[in-house]
Amino acid sequence: MLDWVSNLYGPFFDAHNWSTVITSGNDWLIILSLVTIECLLSVDNAIVLAAQTQALPTKIQREKSLFYGLWGAYLFRFLIIGVGTYMIHFWEIKVIGSLYLFYLVYTFFRKTRVVRTHKLAGKSKSGLSLFWSVVIQIEFMDVVFSIDSVLASLAISPNPVIVLIGGMIGILAMRGVAEVIMKLMAIIPELQPMAYILIGIIALKLFLSIPLIDIEIPASVFGLIVIGAVIITLIIHYVRKGRQNQHERSDNS
């Protein structure tokens, strides 16, 4: 057992391996490409994280949940890279993750905004449990979304140190994307239901990628879906805002 663990995680603690990677220009080029891939593959993760943080009542709690999620993501990424060669057998995690995402979409659209507001208000008395439940949800999704990123990274470089450095930088960049989306949701409320529609598409994307079905939706296609959804949402927002301003002007006159 100890030999197995040593074989999996020994390269992370090899000082020579680290020094070789850090001083190699070619390795940094690979790391840069891994960061780019991480950001492209993590757009869906950022959308899910931003939507999950909306359950918390204050901006401070939302940012704090992302902070805790960041360190959890680093820990899980370290563990998952170590067993990356075996991850092809963990397709069941994708099934569980897709079902969980479908459940998030169902619960969001099943409730009215009034019911959802009352529910959050009721939980605010025990805000700590609500906060940690969101953090746990974030960590769970980090595990699910790490699969695609790690497998793609290991296909480019078998050196776990290179994959780890690229993943760490990519996770940090992805968290920045999540914070931007979170701030936009506060300004444009229509982005939240749009995010859950995208989560449903993400759940379908995850489920279709299991070996039994083996249908992979390219990151470029999903990126176009995200851009299109955002454009449509912005149009709906400004149309509604224009109509609201017209009603207000007519009421004042």
Tokens of 21: 């990677």
Q: Is the pLDDT of residue 236 over 90?
A: yes
pLDDT (tens digit, 9 = 90+) per residue, 150-184?
766 666 677 778 878 877 787 777 777 767 776 77
Task: Give pLDDT, residue 239.
Answer: 92
Q: Is the pLDDT of residue 232 over 90?
A: yes
Q: Which residue has the higher pLDDT, 84 or 244?
A: 244
Tokens of 38: 């991480």
Q: Which residue has the higher pLDDT, 215 or 8?
A: 215
Q: How far apart are CA 4 and CA 113, in angstroms?
A: 51
Task: Give pLDDT, residue 122.
Answer: 40
pLDDT (tens digit, 9 = 90+) per residue, 78-101?
777 777 655 555 678 778 878 888
In which band, very low, low, confident or very high, does the pLDDT at 119 lie, cut at 50, 70 and 90? very low
Task: Give pLDDT, residue 253.
Answer: 67
Across the chain, mean pLDDT equals 75
Whether the model clears a pTM of 0.75, i.e. scores above it, the answer is: no
Q: Which residue has the higher pLDDT, 242 or 173?
A: 242
Task: Give pLDDT, residue 163.
Answer: 78
Q: How far apart are CA 39 and CA 178, in angstroms?
A: 11
> Percentage of the chain surpassing pLDDT 70?
75
Helix spans in 157-211 (H): 160-187, 191-208
Q: Is the pLDDT of residue 23 over 80?
A: yes
Q: What angle do CA 141, 56, 70 make, to 5 degrees?
A: 40
Tokens of 62: 């939302």
Q: Which residue has the higher pLDDT, 117 or 142?
A: 142
Q: Is the pLDDT of residue 132 over 70?
A: yes
pLDDT (tens digit, 9 = 90+) per residue, 177-228?
767 776 777 788 888 888 888 888 878 887 888 878 888 777 677 778 878 8
